[in-house]
Amino acid sequence: MRIHSAFLFIFAVSVFCELSWKQIGPGDIEVTALERSPGMLLAGTDGRGVFYLQGDTLLPFFNFIQTDPSMDTLTVHALACDKSGYSIFAGTNLGLFVYIMSMGAPRWINIPAVPATDVYTVELYQDSILFAATDDEIYRGIDGSGYFFISGSRWDTLNVKSFLGALEIPSFRSLLLDPDSTGVLYAGSVYGHGRESFAGVLKGSGLGKSFEKYNWGWDPSAPGVVSLAASKPYFMDATFLLAGTSDGLYSITANAKSWSVYPVYRPDSSAITAVYAAYRTRSLYARVHVATETGVFRYEYPDTDKVFARMEPGLPAVRVNALIANRDVDYDSLFAGTTQGLYLYADHPGAGNERNKPSDKADFAAFPVPFNQTVNFVITSDPRLDIYDLSGRHLRTPENHSWDGRDKSGNRLPAGVYLLTLKYGSKVHSYRILLIR
């Protein structure tokens, strides 16, 4: 792992300003894929490998850490990671790779069961079943994790073409597992093989055991699907499936008989490149974000006009390849991977008409991050420090502003994400720290 003097600084600034886009990190990198893992954001690029983005994403400091540089010559189409953040999967122009964080010297390892060709999309089901789609086939790794997915005996092909007509060849660009954990896998296909093509959505049951066309009410002349997303607002029982195409956005619910079309969403008619909608939200509105060749647009449901408004200011008119929310239920903070680097839509110190107010939160730093043996804390005051696991179990009260990765009984803890809390009087602030083994 290449760590460029990795210090994680977190500054105590409370800011009130208008939302805007701000470039995060270098602007000469094309960001092609985004994924969240515990405690960090993952950014895949075109020819520069995969980066971690670490820091408090609502504050001005971010730390880019590049993974093993062996991926530097590849284009990363898609990323996925398990819930612990131990294993990261990357679909590239030369096949599927896995990066195992718990290794002593993490590195990217090719998964040979998937051909060394473009892997456009990757989905992980309950940390044990991995789906990877090439141009015209979907591969499935069963009952694996990390190293176990490298074994070819754990892989099979779903033979999707057998469920289509003789002249219907899919060209997959997107996969989506049903977020209700029903074992349903949706696959979006574009026109990629001339007249012998299938474009639209396929619905796979039993984790890919069988497929059917899912194009009820679909315009036969509509272009193929480049991105799939799902949303389930708290005020509705139904889950919306969203399909982004180069000619518009479609949506459907489980009980609907046909897809609805959102034709009026782009004032410049630019093609959709990605769709993002958080699955569950406490927001009054269900927001759908659409990335295009010229920017990012947002639609709020209910909105009878079905009009997508451009999200401004600060983002140049560039192609946006990927979108992801800052946090699971945070719609006002959004990352966009573009041809000119990574952008964050949020309240930015130094942008707009902000009004700083004093904070009782001291400056704080932790290094190195991730850590293997000992992590050190630099704090300008003397709060109470405590370490918890993600379930909320108290593990240790660090001494001397450092922690050796052990619990209060001296037991060596496994690799993973842990919570450090700093208590100042009646106020408590928490930070995530990644331990690797």
The DSSP string of 315-365 is --S--EEEEEEEETTEEEEEEEEETTEEEEEE--TTSSS---B--SPPPEE
pLDDT at 104: 66
Give the pLDDT confidence of 68-79 residue by residue, as tens digits: 888 889 999 999
**Beta bridge pairs of residue 248:** 245
pLDDT at 16: 35
Query: How confident is residue 160, by pLDDT bands cut at 50, 70 and 90?
Result: very high
364-435 and 15-346 share a CATH fold? no
The CATH superfamily label for domain 364-435 reads Immunoglobulins (2.60.40.10)
CATH of domain 15-346: 2.130.10.10
pLDDT at residue 209 greater than cutoff 70: yes
> Is 229:178 a contact under the CB 8 Å cutoff?
no
Average pLDDT in the chain:
77
- The tokens 């108290």 sit on which residue? 394
Query: How confident is residue 62, by pLDDT bands cut at 50, 70 and 90?
Result: low
SS3 content of the chain, % helix, strand, coil (to 5): 5, 45, 50
pLDDT at 45: 94
Q: What is the mean pLDDT of residues 345-365?
A: 48
Query: How confident is residue 347, by pLDDT bands cut at 50, 70 and 90?
Result: low
- Which residue spans within 93-177 are E strands per DSSP? 95-100, 108-110, 121-125, 129-133, 138-141, 155-157, 172-177
* Pair of tokens at residue 325: 């929310």
> Is 52:65 a contact under the CB 8 Å cutoff?
yes
Domain boundaries, the chain: 15-346, 364-435
pLDDT at 187: 94
* Tally of CA atoms within 13 A in the half-sphere of 179 that contains its CB: 16
pLDDT at 410: 92
Query: How confident is residue 14, by pLDDT bands cut at 50, 70 and 90?
Result: very low
pLDDT at 139: 95
Select the more confidently predicted residue: 130 or 366: 130
pTM: 0.75
Residue 409 CB neighbours (<10 A) = 7
User: In terms of Cα–Cα distance, which of 112, 190, 191 is closest to 152?
Assistant: 112
Query: How confident is residue 168, by pLDDT bands cut at 50, 70 and 90?
Result: confident
> Is 342:24 a contact under the CB 8 Å cutoff?
yes
pLDDT at 15: 31
Q: Phi/psi at 213 (nearest 5 deg)?
A: -65, 140
Query: How confident is residue 382, by pLDDT bands cut at 50, 70 and 90?
Result: confident
Identify the top-confidence range among 97-111, 222-236, 337-351, 366-380.
Answer: 97-111
pLDDT at 283: 52
* Pair of tokens at residue 96: 């599927």
pLDDT at 5: 29
pLDDT at residue 424 greater than cutoff 90: no
> Is 276:229 a contact under the CB 8 Å cutoff?
yes
Q: Of the given ranges (31-35, 91-95, 387-391), which has the lowest mean pLDDT?
A: 387-391
Query: How confident is residue 261, by pLDDT bands cut at 50, 70 and 90?
Result: confident
User: In terms of Cα–Cα distance, which of 132, 76, 135, 83 is closest to 108?
Assistant: 76
User: In terms of Cα–Cα distance, which of 260, 269, 304, 307 is closest to 288?
Assistant: 307
pLDDT at 1: 32
**Beta bridge pairs of residue 155:** 141
